[in-house]
């Protein structure tokens, strides 16, 4: 099933779509000039505004429509409306204030940090920050919702009308970058609920209120996506943005970022189909799988003349399927009401918004563009750097310290440093080889003082963390290039003399055999001879 | 001598403490004795005798050292049982919260305790403050002390137990406590008139402060957007003294505001001749008693004679206040009561077949019919299909009501003079002939619109009716004019010379003391 849904993704994605496919050079210019015109709006209105779909045969074909609702736990030391600490893996019910437990007579007090986080996130996503925002109560009975209502923002959220641009890599060796955008309908602040643990055997429920009242940003994305891979790419980009801003830690597995997908299918040009809501997704990879499964399922339902039910479905990662959830909420009337204990919250453009805007760091998209522009990196390399926390900084300090070309340095960073880090399950800050040491090594290479194969040996030595500099290692282990031309000449001559067959072949015009001889020479010099010199000498000796 | 002590004003008591004429402990004991003697009034749900004695002893010590904390040090007070009191049962007169001991005290309670005031106990009310008679609580109705005073008894042929009058409500317990002289001061809560109504029927002065002037933190809410802690005492100066301590911003209540700066707790001597007083004509409501109307005219004349400009005004939207209040109140009640599910605190039903069944049974057993009725209507008003027709409409009308007041005050009027209630206190037997909702809409008619607009209002007793029961009038001011209202109330108090209550127990006590003194003399 997994395989077929992965296949489905491609099919779905390519239907009737004009991809903004940029080959590396194009994207370089595109991003550098900050031109967004090529990015693709895959919004629903697009179908209405472009009724003449090019491929006639495809007009009647179904496509998926995907919108996301994302709950991002605000990275704040205290809760949204109380002074309780926010922390994970604390003993149950140890981080619960009187307000969190909804003791009668307690009142909410808005946490400034949470507001600032939402404002910052809104600004980073090009949203309009509402000057005045309001809180509402959303009522429903559930054991882990102690007040019987959740304080949220139904009428006037903190931010509205933004855009998330995201890119993903496709094609041979992931060398093509596709940039798209999804509209952000709104960002609202709301309280998290507690957690219920059901003991089916004893038919008991245990309630842990540690999470109750933690601040959430709910980001609602318009149904501008068409398949799981797009949704996953959008979520990954959002994750990076939130982490860069520091407004959410963004770990999906720990529930800091929770994604629900609204999925429907329709024929382009026709109204949207009935949607289902897919929940219980705890990674970007599963998000893609869940959505693609659901699109395929709905296509089968519609294709066989059935109707899709408006329901909530859970993703079962073991089977890769979505299954209807027992309808605990049903079609509820939440009886929204203004929260009377919180006065309207006024956001002054002068003080708060501008102050927050100034604190917004460089966002991932800009970082990637800068890496491509300033260092001439390939876009996929810029993605790799930005995706790994601290790797961009590592690369930048390396590039600034070494005389080697950034294009050479990036190979070392990605293949050697990141490769080993991943292998050993470490993060960038734990790298035993500092950018400075690597820069010294690359300089030795650049200056022709070590060969590239010797450089790898030095790198291995550095990784062991002995504290010695690359130059010291080269000297101690005698890894420097053999400078003595007479010595190299002698070795070359002995190789030529002992391989008459090969020499004959070369003289007959088979130049490839020369490489074999080169290998033999390097073997004798332990890779320390300058290959250019060796090649020249061998050519001379075999001509 | 000591019985007279119970009649003193707070300032007089404080002076007596400082002069050593009486100690806080002696006074506290006197109040506790009075509480026992007046137990049949059903004013208190919980009497915190031991705690009170400890607090009074601590006050004794401070006065001995000559270092009292302030004007309320050693002053006995009572608190309506819908304010949280740390580790002291707080029931809201509901089965739902019987036995509930909050882990914290309401800000206003804490402020009084911090000033050295002595908490006597928690007073009776209508369940969750929903009512206007103090007749609908899980602990039974409260009796008006004036039912036992000479003027009423002299005119009544019946036994006191058959024709006693109600206190009004919902802060009836607090009113009865202060009126029967068992407490000098009491906190009530006022959402639609709940401190002013019983204060008027019990012959007390009561302030419903500007919304936000006093913290609501720890007040178990009825309608968050209208609730205010109210102060009840026997004189305007006593209320002003308490207000000075209680008002102010509270970080735990985001709707609180900074009070205007005052340099003294003493009420100024107001120059009545410079006042512009409005008489809202819409308050000539059907059912207004002849005697109350007469008092209204009398006081208006009094003000005019003193040089004030008294004019008839119009508040055209006031007539819609009650129906609008009904919608908003029920909606908030439905929401506020949702937390009482039996899981964490309060009553929990034995029914445990499912969580939903547990909720349903708990709430059926825990709430009385009045509360359940309001929850039901509130949920109806908040339904998606009703929201615009009821809730939003009511909010719009609420804005019009507030605008009426704002226009009147902008036109230069300093205060409005109105009746507080339709008439004097009805007998319990008469009152319970109609249901809670009917009575609330009748009784709150003059008091309720002030809560809609968040304005301050004070009720002042002006006379006894022909039946010997108190009649009060209400002064309404612009936002944050609380002190000015109290100053006018103080002037009025002096002009009308409302009689002090004479209860049968007073004479008993006085006789006892006389006998004691006689023995000493011998």
pLDDT at B508: 66
List of E strands, A92-224: 128-129, 132-133, 136-139, 149-152, 159-170, 176-191, 195-199, 204-208, 215-221
Q: Is B168 in contact with B175 (CB distance < 8 Å)? A: yes
Query: Which range has highest mean pLDDT (A408-412, A475-479, A535-539, B439-443)?
Result: A408-412
C-alpha A101/C-alpha A93 separation (Å) is 9
For B251, counting Cβ atoms within 10 Å of its Cβ (0-12 exposed, 13-18 middle, 19+ buried), the class is exposed
C-alpha dihedral over A294, A300, A303, A308, to 10 degrees?
-50
C-alpha A293/C-alpha A281 separation (Å) is 13
A108 contacts in chain B (CB < 8 Å): 254
Helices (H), A185-246: 228-245
C-alpha A482/C-alpha A488 separation (Å) is 7
A206 contacts in chain B (CB < 8 Å): none
Q: Is B254 on the interface with A (CB under 8 A)?
A: yes
Nearest residue of chain B to residue A104 (CA atoms): B220
pLDDT, chain A, mean: 85
Interface ipTM > 0.85: yes
Q: Is B255 in contact with B216 (CB distance < 8 Å)? A: yes
Kindly report which listed range (A15-24, A524-533, B433-442) carries the lowest average pLDDT score. Answer: A15-24
Picking from B382, B406, B376, the residue whose alpha carbon sits closest to that of residue B394 is B382
In this complex, which of B97, B255, B383 lies closest to A341 when CB atoms are compared?
B255
A430 versus A45: the higher-pLDDT residue is A430
Give the number of other CB atoms < 10 A from CB of residue B510: 14
Nearest residue of chain A to residue B103 (CA atoms): A98
Domains within chain A, CATH numbers bracketed? 2-53+62-330+352-358 (no CATH), 388-476 (no CATH), 485-542 (1.10.10)
Nearest residue of chain A to residue B216 (CA atoms): A105
A146 contacts in chain B (CB < 8 Å): 339, 341, 343-344
CB contact under 8 Å between B344 and A333, yes or no, is: no
Residues of chain A above pLDDT 90, percent: 58
Q: Is A271 on the interface with B (CB under 8 A)?
A: no
Tokens of B289: 């008693």
Q: Is B255 on the interface with A (CB under 8 A)?
A: yes
pLDDT at A22: 36
CB contact under 8 Å between A335 and B102, yes or no, is: no
C-alpha B121/C-alpha B165 separation (Å) is 23
Give the number of other CB atoms < 10 A from CB of residue A113: 16
Instruction: Give Cα A442 to chain centroid, integer Å.
Output: 29
pLDDT at A43: 35
CB contact under 8 Å between A333 and B384, yes or no, is: yes
Domains within chain B, CATH numbers bracketed? 2-273+481-521 (3.90.1300.10), 321-385 (no CATH)
Q: Is B196 in contact with B208 (CB distance < 8 Å)? A: yes
Helices (H), B38-149: 49-64, 107-114
CA distance from start to end of chain B: 19
pLDDT at A203: 81
Q: Is B89 in contact with B151 (CB distance < 8 Å)? A: no
Picking from A473, A481, A404, the residue whose alpha carbon sits closest to that of residue A449 is A481
pLDDT at B280: 97
β-pairing, B470-477 vs B415-419, is antiparallel
Q: Is B246 on the interface with A (CB under 8 A)?
A: no
Picking from B222, B200, B265, B243, the residue whose alpha carbon sits closest to that of residue B471 is B200
In this complex, which of B223, B335, B345 lies closest to A149 when CB atoms are compared?
B335
Q: 92-121 in B: which are within 8 Å (CB) of A? A: 92, 97, 102-104, 106
Going residue by residue through chain B, which has 522 residues, state the pLDDT in tens, using 9 for 90 and above.
Answer: 555 899 999 999 999 999 999 999 999 999 999 999 999 999 999 999 999 999 999 999 999 999 999 999 999 999 999 999 999 999 999 999 999 999 999 999 999 999 999 999 999 999 999 999 999 999 999 999 999 999 999 887 778 788 999 999 999 999 999 999 999 999 999 999 999 999 999 999 999 999 999 999 999 999 999 999 999 999 999 999 999 999 999 999 999 999 988 777 778 788 999 999 999 999 998 899 999 999 999 999 999 999 999 999 999 999 899 999 999 999 999 999 999 999 989 999 999 888 899 999 999 999 999 999 999 999 999 999 999 999 999 999 999 999 999 999 999 999 999 999 999 999 999 999 998 888 888 888 999 999 999 999 999 999 999 999 999 999 999 999 999 999 999 999 999 999 999 988 776 666 555 555 554 444
C-alpha A186/C-alpha B442 separation (Å) is 46
Residue in the structure block whose two tokens are 């650049």: A446
pLDDT at A469 over 50: yes
pLDDT band at A509 (very low <50, low <70, confident <90, very high): confident
Chosen for mutation from B82, B217, B333, B398 (greatest number of chain A CBs closer than 10 Å) is B217
Picking from A528, A533, A178, the residue whose alpha carbon sits closest to that of residue A383 is A178
Residues of B recognised as catalytic:
80, 170, 194
CB contact under 8 Å between B332 and A110, yes or no, is: no
Picking from B57, B73, B61, B69, the residue whose alpha carbon sits closest to that of residue B13 is B73
What are the pLDDT digits (tens) for A350-379? 568 889 999 999 999 999 999 999 999 998
Q: How far is CA B29 from CA B20, B74, B78, B517, in A?
A: 16, 12, 14, 19
Give the mean pLDDT of A490-515. 86
C-alpha A359/C-alpha A365 separation (Å) is 17
Q: How far is CA A93 from CA A96, A101, B103, B361, B476, in A?
A: 6, 9, 16, 26, 47
B252 contacts in chain A (CB < 8 Å): 106-107, 109
Q: Which residues of B362-390 are buried (b: 16+ CB within 10 A; e: fewer)?
A: bbeebbbebbebbbebbbbbbeeebbeeb
C-alpha B129/C-alpha B368 separation (Å) is 12
Give the mean pLDDT of A179-203. 93
B458 Cα to chain A: minimum distance (Å): 24
Q: How far is CA B313 from CA B297, B418, B507, in A?
A: 15, 11, 46
For B456, counting Cβ atoms within 10 Å of its Cβ (0-12 exposed, 13-18 middle, 19+ buried), the class is buried
Query: Which range has highest mean pLDDT (A264-268, A427-431, B231-235, B266-270)?
Result: B231-235
B169 Cα to chain A: minimum distance (Å): 20
pLDDT band at A493 (very low <50, low <70, confident <90, very high): confident
Q: Is B117 in contact with B185 (CB distance < 8 Å)? A: yes
C-alpha B56/C-alpha B69 separation (Å) is 13
Q: Is A248 in contact with A258 (CB distance < 8 Å)? A: no
C-alpha B233/C-alpha B207 separation (Å) is 9
β-pairing, A345-346 vs A149-152, is unpaired
pLDDT at A33 over 50: no
In this complex, which of A98, A109, A137 lies closest to B335 when CB atoms are compared?
A137
B383 contacts in chain A (CB < 8 Å): 333, 335
Kindly report the CA angle at A382 between A376 and A383, in degrees rounded to 5?
160
In this complex, which of A107, A146, A340 lies closest to B217 when CB atoms are compared?
A107
Give the mean pLDDT of A241-268. 94
CB contact under 8 Å between B103 and A139, yes or no, is: no
pLDDT at A168: 82
Nearest residue of chain A to residue B128 (CA atoms): A104
pLDDT band at A57 (very low <50, low <70, confident <90, very high): very low
C-alpha A349/C-alpha A366 separation (Å) is 25
pLDDT at A328 over 80: no
Chosen for mutation from B83, B106, B338 (greatest number of chain A CBs closer than 10 Å) is B338
A177 in helix, strand or coil? strand
What number of CA atoms fall less than 13 Å from residue A153's CA on the CB side?
28
In this complex, how many residue pairs, one in chain A and one in chain B, have their CB atoms less than 8 Å apart? 94
pLDDT at A244 over 90: yes
B3: left (phi over 0), alpha (psi -120 to 50) or beta: alpha
Beta-bridge partner residues of B123: B44, B80
What number of CA atoms fall less than 13 Å from residue B100's CA on the CB side?
30
Residue in the structure block whose two tokens are 């009426």: B404
B219 contacts in chain A (CB < 8 Å): 105
pLDDT at A30 over 70: no
CB contact under 8 Å between A336 and B220, yes or no, is: no
Beta-bridge partner residues of B464: B470
B82 Cα to chain A: minimum distance (Å): 9
pLDDT at B520: 44
CB contact under 8 Å between B217 and A101, yes or no, is: no
C-alpha A97/C-alpha B325 separation (Å) is 32
Q: Is A499 on the interface with B (CB under 8 A)?
A: no
pLDDT at B509: 62
A492 versus A243: the higher-pLDDT residue is A243
Give the mean pLDDT of A211-230. 96
Nearest residue of chain A to residue B391 (CA atoms): A337
Give the mean pLDDT of A217-237. 96
B225 contacts in chain A (CB < 8 Å): 340
pLDDT at B511: 59
B102 contacts in chain A (CB < 8 Å): 103-105
Q: Is A110 on the interface with B (CB under 8 A)?
A: yes
Beta-bridge partner residues of A265: A64
pLDDT at B441: 81
Element (H, E) at A532: helix A531-542
CB contact under 8 Å between B345 and A103, yes or no, is: yes
Nearest residue of chain A to residue B343 (CA atoms): A143
Q: Is A495 in contact with A515 (CB distance < 8 Å)? A: no
pLDDT band at A16 (very low <50, low <70, confident <90, very high): very low
pLDDT at A136 over 50: yes
């Amino acid at each position: 099933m997994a395989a077929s849904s992965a296949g489905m993704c491609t099919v779905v994605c390519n239907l009737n779509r004009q991809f903004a496919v940029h080959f590396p050079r194009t994207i370089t210019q595109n991003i550098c000039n900050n031109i967004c015109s090529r990015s693709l709006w895959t919004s629903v209105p697009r179908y209405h505004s472009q009724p003449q779909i090019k491929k006639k045969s495809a007009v009647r074909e179904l496509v998926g429509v995907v919108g996301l609702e994302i709950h991002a736990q605000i990275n704040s030391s205290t809760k949204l409306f109380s002074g309780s600490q926010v922390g994970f893996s604390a003993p149950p019910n140890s981080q619960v204030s009187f307000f969190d437990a909804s003791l009668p007579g307690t009142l909410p007090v808005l946490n400034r940090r949470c507001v600032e986080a939402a404002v910052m996130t809104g600004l980073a996503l090009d949203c309009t920050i509402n000057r005045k925002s309001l809180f509402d109560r959303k009522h429903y009975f559930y054991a882990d919702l102690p007040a019987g209502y959740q304080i949220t923002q139904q009428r006037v959220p903190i931010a509205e009308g933004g855009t998330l641009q995201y890119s993903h890599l496709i094609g041979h060796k992931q060398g093509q970058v596709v940039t798209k955008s999804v509209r952000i309908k709104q960002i609202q602040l709301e309280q998290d609920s507690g957690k219920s643990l059901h003991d089916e055997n004893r038919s008991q429920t245990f309630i842990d209120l540690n999470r109750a009242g933690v601040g959430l940003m709910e980001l609602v994305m318009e149904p501008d996506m068409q398949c799981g891979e797009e949704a996953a790419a959008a979520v990954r980009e959002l994750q990076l943005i939130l982490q860069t801003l520091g407004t959410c830690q963004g770990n999906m597995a720990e529930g800091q970022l929770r994604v629900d997908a609204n999925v429907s299918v329709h024929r382009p040009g026709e109204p949207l189909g009935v949607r289902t809501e897919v929940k219980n997704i705890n990674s970007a990879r599963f998000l893609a799988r869940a959505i693609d499964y659901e699109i395929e399922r709905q296509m089968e339902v519609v294709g066989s003349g059935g109707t899709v039910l408006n329901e909530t479905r859970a993703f079962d990662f073991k089977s890769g399927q979505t299954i209807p959830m027992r309808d605990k909420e049903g079609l509820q009337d939440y009886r929204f009401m203004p929260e009377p204990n919180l006065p309207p919250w006024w956001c002054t453009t002068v003080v708060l918004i501008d102050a927050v805007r100034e604190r917004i760091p460089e966002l991932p998209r800009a970082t990637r563009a800068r890496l491509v522009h300033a260092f001439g990196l390939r876009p996929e390399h810029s993605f790799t750097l930005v995706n790994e926390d601290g790797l961009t900084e590592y690369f930048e300090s390396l590039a600034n310290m070494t005389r080697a070309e950034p294009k050479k340095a990036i190979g070392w960073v990605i293949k050697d440093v990141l490769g080993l880090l991943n292998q050993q399950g470490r993060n960038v800050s734990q790298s035993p080889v500092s950018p400075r040491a690597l820069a010294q090594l690359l300089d030795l290479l650049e200056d022709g003082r070590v060969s590239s194969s010797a450089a790898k040996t030095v790198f291995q030595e550095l990784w062991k963390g002995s504290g010695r500099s690359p130059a010291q290692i080269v000297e101690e282990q005698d890894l420097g290039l053999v400078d003595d031309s007479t010595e190299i000449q002698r070795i070359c001559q002995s190789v030529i003399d002992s391989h008459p067959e090969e020499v004959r072949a070369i003289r007959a015009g088979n130049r490839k055999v020369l490489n074999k001889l080169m290998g033999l020479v390097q073997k004798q010099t332990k890779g320390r001879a300058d290959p250019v010199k060796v090649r020249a000498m061998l050519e001379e000796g075999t001509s | 001598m000591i019985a007279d002590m119970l009649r003193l004003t707070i300032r007089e008591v404080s002076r007596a403490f400082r002069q050593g004429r009486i100690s806080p402990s002696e006074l506290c004991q006197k109040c506790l004795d009075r509480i026992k003697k007046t137990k049949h009034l059903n004013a208190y749900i919980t009497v915190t005798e031991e705690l009170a004695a400890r607090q009074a002893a601590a006050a004794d010590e401070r006065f001995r050292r000559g270092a009292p904390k302030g004007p309320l040090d050693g002053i006995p007070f009572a608190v309506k049982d819908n304010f949280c009191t740390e580790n002291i049962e707080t029931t809201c007169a509901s089965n739902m919260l019987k036995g509930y001991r909050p882990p914290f005290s309401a800000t206003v309670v804490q402020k009084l305790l911090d000033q050295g005031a002595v908490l006597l106990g928690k007073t009776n009310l209508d369940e969750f403050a929903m009512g206007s008679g103090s007749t609908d609580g899980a602990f039974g109705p409260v009796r008006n002390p004036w039912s036992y005073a000479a003027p009423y008894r002299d005119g009544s042929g019946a036994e006191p137990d058959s024709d006693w009058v109600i206190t009004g409500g919902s802060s009836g317990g607090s009113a009865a406590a202060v009126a029967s002289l068992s407490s000098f001061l009491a906190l009530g809560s006022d959402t639609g008139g709940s401190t002013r109504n019983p204060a008027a029927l019990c012959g007390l002065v009561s302030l419903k402060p500007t919304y936000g002037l006093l913290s609501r933190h720890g007040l178990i809410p009825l309608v968050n957007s209208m609730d205010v802690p109210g102060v009840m005492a026997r004189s305007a100066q006593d209320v002003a003294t308490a207000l000075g301590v209680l008002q102010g911003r509270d970080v735990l209540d985001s709707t609180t505001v900074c009070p205007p700066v005052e340099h003294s707790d003493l009420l100024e001597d107001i120059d009545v001749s410079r006042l512009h007083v409005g008489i809202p004509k819409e308050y000539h409501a059907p059912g207004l008693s002849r005697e109350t109307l007469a008092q209204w005219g009398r006081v208006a004349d009094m003000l005019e004679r003193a040089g004030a400009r008294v004019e008839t005004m119009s508040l055209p939207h006031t007539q819609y206040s009650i129906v609008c209040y009904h919608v908003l109140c029920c909606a908030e009640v439905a929401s506020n009561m949702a937390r009482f599910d039996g899981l964490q605190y309060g009553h929990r039903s034995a029914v445990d077949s499912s969580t939903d069944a547990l909720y349903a049974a708990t709430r059926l057993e825990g709430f009385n019919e009045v509360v359940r009725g309001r929850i039901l209507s509130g949920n109806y008003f908040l339904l998606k299909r009703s929201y615009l027709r009821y809730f939003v409409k009511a909010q719009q009308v609420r804005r019009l009501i507030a605008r009426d007041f704002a226009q009147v005050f902008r036109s230069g009027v300093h205060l409005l003079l109105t009746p507080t209630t339709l008439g004097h206190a009805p007998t319990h037997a008469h009152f319970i002939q109609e249901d809670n909702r009917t009575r609330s809409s009748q009784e709150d008619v003059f008091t309720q619109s002030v809560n809609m607009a968040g304005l301050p209002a004070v009720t002042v007793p002006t006379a006894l009716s022909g039946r010997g029961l108190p009649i009060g009038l209400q002064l309404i001011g612009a936002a944050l004019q609380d002190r000015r209202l109290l100053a006018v109330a103080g002037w009025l108090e002096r002009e009308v010379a409302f009689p002090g209550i004479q209860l049968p127990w007073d004479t008993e006590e006085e006789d006892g003391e006389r006998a004691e003194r006689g023995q000493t003399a011998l």
